């Protein structure tokens, strides 16, 4: 039984309460996690505020911040395998995915390390001859970060990296489900040499930890990744401290395939887009919108590929789909598939949870043509693909935009002008053309509608963790005249 600690003000602490963490592959308890309460949150936020304004971090130059981030990146790379194994054990995400993803996480920290001393202010050509005016960019303040159980090290890196580059301090709340990799990451933060209080990492439940963090009066900004319902609570809580928010939420992403597409290539992208990470990805291409003339052929390819996927222990490199992260997630996916079939959707493959231990669910395809299926509207967050067909480009675009979400989308066609029309017409924050799930620290990422607000990645993310200060300097040596003497 492993025991993890949280990290507050440069110290590793057990906390007053603890709770068990379950291995999704077996359904058995494998570790104990510290449960942060409101008093722990208060201590962490106070430590972050002290570090921001009174500690050595306040005097750390932008270049020095960059060097610390470079060191952290090197430590992440050196410990990638251990972190990957912990994430796999605690969340069920397969080891071949966690290993690759965490190795790439180091590149995010390197990107923001290089950006730290490139965040510039500006000089304003003001309309007054005896004034010089500048804009300074300063850290926005103490940041509350909340990340979900899927890809915690990646989803925290896109927040921690730009916030540290901008000079902020933070309290990071790992999900109560599968927090092990982020709690272990705290040891790398400590080893890298960040001053005490700059990065604080805790875990706990929403009512006793998340709510207290979001409404804390010393929190200036909240960076949240999760579902829309929880995001609504976060936004309501922010009314207490008027903190700004950035929200990266769910998706019901359209994956459009035209008849002229390379169907084999598109099928490989579709399989990766919906079945990778066992479908537990906010950008999962969960709505296949395929041209009617190639629908049967394309579904035949997908069915063959889906049924060939290796399901097994997430710790084995040969495994291609592992378990869902929690029992409640498995129950949710199974119930929504059953509800969709009752509504008229045709089960192409999968659909039945297997016997045995663990929270597994097979790759599933639902043909929802001409059916008002709940699977087309509701987010599964599991390995389930819903399929509809179209006859015209206009119909494809209408189907793509028929959602309250707007995070990601994919378009597969060899027609360049059509691709450009769809790039403009699709209402989503990311449009991939003849590819899917490509990401980079250089490229901003975020959504429209219920998929959130704000962007992560790129320079824009670092600027979101700053606020501007306007400085006026009077350049005239003449005394300021008495404002109450008429001239």
The answer to whether the beta carbons of residues 351 and 364 sit under 8 Å apart is yes
Pairing status of strand 6-8 against strand 11-13 = antiparallel
DSSP 149-214: STTHHHHHHHHHHHHHHHT-EEEEEE-SSS-HHHHHHHHHHHHHTPPTTSEEEEE--IIIIIHHHH
The answer to whether the beta carbons of residues 81 and 89 sit under 8 Å apart is no
DSSP 326-386: -HHHHHHHHHHHHHHHHTT-EEEE--SPPSSSS-----EEEE-TT---GGGTS---SSEEE
Burial of 487 from C-beta contacts in 10 A (0-12 / 13-18 / 19+): exposed
User: CB atoms < 10 A from the CB of 356, how many?
Assistant: 8
pLDDT at residue 371, as a whole number: 80
**pTM score, whole prediction:** 0.94
d(CA 29, CA 35): 16
pLDDT at residue 487, as a whole number: 67
* 3-class SS of residue 412: strand
d(CA 136, CA 220): 18
d(CA 106, CA 138): 25
d(CA 70, CA 76): 10
User: CB atoms < 10 A from the CB of 181, how many?
Assistant: 27
Please give the sequence-ordered ranges of beta strands (E in DSSP) within 57-187, or none if there are none. 122-124, 131-139, 142-146, 169-174
* Sign, Cα dihedral of 343, 346, 349, 355: positive
Burial of 408 from C-beta contacts in 10 A (0-12 / 13-18 / 19+): buried
Structural domains present in the chain: 2-249+447-472 (3.40.605.10), 254-433 (3.40.309.10)
Tell me phi and psi for residue 466, to 5 degrees. -120, 165
pLDDT at residue 1, as a whole number: 83
* 3-class SS of residue 415: coil
d(CA 340, CA 334): 10
Tell me phi and psi for residue 292, to 5 degrees. -55, -35
**DSSP alpha helix (H) spans, 193-312:** 211-214, 228-238, 263-275, 292-307
pLDDT at residue 315, as a whole number: 95
d(CA 362, CA 1): 30
**Which residues have a catalytic role annotated?**
248
Across the beta sheet with 466-474, the strand order is: 122-124, 131-139, 466-474
The answer to whether the beta carbons of residues 179 and 4 sit under 8 Å apart is yes
The answer to whether the beta carbons of residues 174 and 226 sit under 8 Å apart is no
Which token pair is 94? 């397969």
Element (H, E) at 277: none
Across the beta sheet with 364-367, the strand order is: 346-349, 364-367, 384-390, 287-291, 254-257, 410-412, 432-433
User: CB atoms < 10 A from the CB of 334, how many?
Assistant: 18
pLDDT tens string for the chain (487 positions)? 899 999 999 999 998 899 999 999 999 999 999 999 999 999 999 999 999 999 999 999 999 999 999 999 999 999 999 999 999 999 999 999 999 999 999 999 999 999 999 999 999 999 999 999 999 999 999 999 999 988 899 999 999 999 999 999 999 999 999 999 999 999 999 999 999 999 999 999 988 899 999 999 999 999 999 999 999 999 999 999 999 999 999 899 999 999 999 999 999 999 999 999 999 999 999 999 999 999 999 999 999 999 999 999 999 999 999 999 999 999 999 999 999 999 999 999 999 999 889 999 999 999 999 888 889 998 889 999 999 999 999 999 999 999 999 999 999 999 999 999 999 999 999 999 999 999 999 999 999 999 999 999 999 999 999 999 999 999 999 999 898 987 6
Q: Give 281's DSSP letter.
A: -
């Amino acid at each position: 039984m492993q025991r993890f600690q949280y990290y507050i003000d440069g110290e590793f602490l057990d906390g007053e309460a603890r709770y068990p963490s379950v291995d999704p592959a077996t359904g058995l308890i494998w570790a104990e996690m510290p449960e942060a309460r409101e008093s722990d949150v208060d201590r962490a936020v106070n430590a972050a505020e002290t570090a921001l304004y009174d500690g050595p971090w306040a005097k750390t130059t932008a270049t020095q911040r960059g060097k610390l981030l470079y060191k952290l990146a090197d430590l992440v790379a050196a410990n990638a395998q251990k972190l990957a194994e912990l994430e796999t054990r605690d969340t069920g995400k397969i080891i071949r995915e966690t290993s690759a993803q965490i190795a790439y996480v180091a590149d995010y920290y390197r990107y923001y390390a290089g950006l730290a001393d490139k965040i510039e202010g500006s000089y304003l050509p003001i309309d007054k001859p005896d004034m010089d005016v500048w804009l300074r960019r300063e850290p926005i303040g103490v940041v509350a970060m909340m990340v979900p159980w899927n890809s915690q090290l990646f989803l925290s890196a896109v927040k921690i990296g730009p916030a540290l580059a901008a000079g902020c301090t933070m309290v990071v709340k790992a999900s109560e489900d599968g927090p092990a990799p982020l709690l272990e990451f705290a040891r790398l933060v400590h080893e890298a040499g960040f001053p005490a209080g700059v990065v604080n990492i805790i875990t706990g439940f929403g009512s006793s930890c998340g709510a207290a963090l979001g409404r804390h009066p010393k929190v200036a900004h909240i960076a949240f990744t999760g579902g829309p319902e929880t995001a609504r609570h976060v936004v309501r809580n922010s009314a207490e401290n008027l903190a700004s928010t950035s929200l990266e939420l769910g998706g019901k992403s359209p994956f459009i395939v035209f008849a002229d597409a390379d169907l084999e290539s598109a099928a490989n992208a579709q399989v990766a887009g919906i079945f990778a990470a066992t479908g537990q990805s906010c950008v999962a291409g969960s709505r296949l919108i395929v041209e009617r003339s190639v629908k049967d052929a394309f579904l035949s390819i997908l069915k063959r590929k889906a049924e060939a996927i290796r399901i097994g222990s997430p710790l084995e490199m040969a495994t291609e789909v592992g378990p869902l992260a929690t029992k409640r997630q498995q129950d949710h996916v199974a119930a929504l598939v059953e509800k969709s079939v009752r509504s008229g959707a045709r089960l192409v493959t999968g659909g039945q949870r297997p016997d045995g231990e663990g929270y597994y669910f097979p790759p599933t395809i639902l043909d929802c043509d001409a059916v008002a299926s709940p699977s087309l509207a509701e987010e599964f967050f599991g390995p389930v693909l819903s399929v509809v067909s179209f006859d015209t480009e206009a119909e494809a675009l209408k189907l793509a935009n028929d959602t309250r979400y707007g995070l990601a989308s994919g378009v597969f066609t060899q027609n360049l002008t059509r691709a450009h029309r769809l790039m403009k017409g699709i209402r989503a924050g990311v449009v991939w053309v003849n590819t899917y799930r490509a990401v980079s620290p250089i490229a901003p990422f975020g959504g429209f509608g219920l998929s959130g607000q704000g962007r992560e990645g790129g320079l824009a993310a670092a600027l979101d963790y700053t606020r501007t200060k306007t400085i006026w300097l009077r350049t005239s040596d003449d005394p300021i005249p008495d404002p109450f003497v008429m001239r």
